[in-house]
Amino acid sequence: MAETDASQAGSAVEDSLALAEGHASKPLEQGLARLRLEMLAMGGLVIDQVAGATESFIDGDPARAQVVLAREPQVNAYDVVIDEHSERLLAWHQPLAVDLRLVRAITRAAIDLERAGDEARKIARTALRVQAPQARRSVAVVTQPVRQMAETGLGMLRDAVVALDTMNADLADQVRRRDEEMDAEFEAAVRRLTTLTLESNDAMPAVLDIVLALKALERIGDHAKNVAEQVVFIVRGIDVRHRHVATAADGAH
């Protein structure tokens, strides 16, 4: 799963490089293409981090969790670089309204991707704490919903990054709708854990850690939704952060 995500991100990066070469005589277009390239690379890394952290949690693989923790500074570095390049682009080229919105959206998307990376770090740390046999039995109770939440969250992240790169507001709307799916999956998993604690008080320490991991996955979905909302802002020119998907789409017509 992680290898596929990295491959897809690499393909998108190559496309952005081709775009940059096509506008080599236009500094503004070059700068925008560079931002897109960095955003795609960051998105691919964060997707890989979330996949790795979740797999380490489900499989009880401490080595995989350590890899995620070791790469977390790379995510932070992308956030800093994108912010610096955005500021430089604004100062040097003073882009018009449409390009200004794109720079703003990429900068904000980088913040959400960095925070999604932070959530992956939390999951990896939790994976290291739930290695004891009793803890692994508790994890087994929620393996299916955790795997489902991970698949949903990764799909949301992937589609949000693609939507931003391609300016696809319809795809962004799909991401926003799936946030409700993530919330429902989180609540279902918590209900399973509540039943477990009623049956065995010994499970309580592990359950608390597992809830933290579940909440981290839910937050990853929230950050993907935030990225999608930036796409809607660019394409339709409306702020949908506190609006229902259908209402926002109607407002664009």
pLDDT tens, position by position, 149-191: 999 999 999 999 999 989 999 999 999 999 999 999 999 889 8
Q: What is 77-104 written as a DSSP string?
A: HHHHHHHHHHHHHHHHH---HHHHHHHH
The number of distinct structural domains making up the chain is 1
Q: Residue 120 belongs to a domain with what CATH number?
A: 1.20.58.220
Q: What is the pLDDT of residue 39?
A: 94
Rounded CA gap, 224 and 156, in Å?
6
Helices 97-129 and 62-93, packing angle to 10 deg: 160
Look at residue 252 in the predicted model and tell me its pLDDT: 52
For the record, the structure tokens of 63 come out as: 């080595």
Q: Which amino acid is at 70?
A: A
User: Which pLDDT score is estimated for 9?
Assistant: 43
Mean pLDDT score, 79-89: 91
pLDDT band for position 25 (50/70/90)?
very low
127 alpha carbon, distance to own chain's centre: 19
- The answer to whether the CB of 2 falls within 8 A of the CB of 55 is yes
Please report, to the nearest 10 degrees, the dihedral formed by the alpha carbons of residues 218, 1, 55, 186 taken in order. 20
Phi, psi of 25 (to 5 degrees): -90, 0
Q: What is the mean pLDDT of the segment spanning 70-81?
A: 96
What's the pTM? 0.82
**pLDDT higher than threshold 80 for residue 202:** no
| pLDDT level of residue 242 (50, 70, 90 thresholds) | low
CA-to-CA distance for 225 and 123, rounded, in angstroms?
Answer: 20
Q: Indicate whether 249 pLDDT > 60.
A: no
Distance between CA atoms of 145 and 164, rounded to whole angstroms? 28
For the stretch 97-115, pLDDT in tens is 667 778 888 999 999 999 9
Name the residue range of residue 89's domain.
2-251
